[in-house]
Amino acid sequence: MVAPDLVPIIENIAREGGLSTKVIVEDYSEIIKTEKSNKLRKPEFSWTAYYDIDDINGYLKNMSKSYPKSTKLIIGGKSYEGRDILGLRIKTQSNKEKPVIFIESDYGTSKDPCDYQTYGGSKPFSEIETRTLSEYISKLDNLKGYIAFHADAQLLLLPYSDSTEHDQYYDDLKKIGQTSLDYGYEVNKEKYEGPATAAELLYKASGGSMDWVHQTVGTPLTFTYELRGNHFHWPSNRIPEQGDEVTQMMVGLTTEARKLGYFSKN
């Protein structure tokens, strides 16, 4: 994102380096205004608007109160500001031994200590958010799956991010992942790349939660979905479109995993 008065400077630098430039969004403020206006027009929580953390936490609390038999509010950890990291557990009363799948959606990190919002820390779990959430995940009984949703590249990533080597689960993960993508494709006819290791589809990197849960916690089914979008922006009025697609992906994932015996009792 470039300020208007800096555009000529950036274009000159690009030309000197033999690079071409292309304007993707002329005025990003218009997108932000539209998203804010969508939120303000809707008195209740809507699927066609983006919300801040207070609104989302309020929604989670309301859901747990409205549906106490099928949902439970969970505290997965603490933030640097001392806030609870909230989540919603969808459950049934019939069987406490059912397999657990943990789903999260967050953003990447920065190596800059001054970037207080996204600083990843000086070492693994040096920051309270990752430390407390990792402790919560480690204590989950019967954890069979871990799914991370990111944006935006239309990819399905498998472990590992720092190596192109395949472990004993790779063939099953690839089969499960392909079924998931096939289910999602039937909704909007959108193709995703993969499934393959993150190192193969993107680049080698370390520190991914998917890898840690797979290797250290020992959870077999771990996936990272890079969803659709345009430079990390997805129009708020099209949230249901992507939501329908992701829902079918999850149906495909769990259907194939069940066929392969991952949800059977140990």
Closest CA to 229 of 217, 241, 218: 241
The CA-CA-CA angle for residues 109, 138, 158, to 5°, reads 55
Considering only CA atoms, which of 213, 233, 235, 238 is closest in space to residue 223? Answer: 213
State how beta strands 84-90 and 143-151 pair.
unpaired
Catalytic, out of 26, 104, 186, 226: 226
Q: Whose CA is closest to 107, among 63, 152, 154? A: 152
Beta bridge partners of 225: 149, 156
Given the DSSP bridges, would you call strands 71-78 and 84-90 parallel, antiparallel or unpaired?
Answer: antiparallel
**Catalytic annotation present for 226:** yes
Active site residues: 226
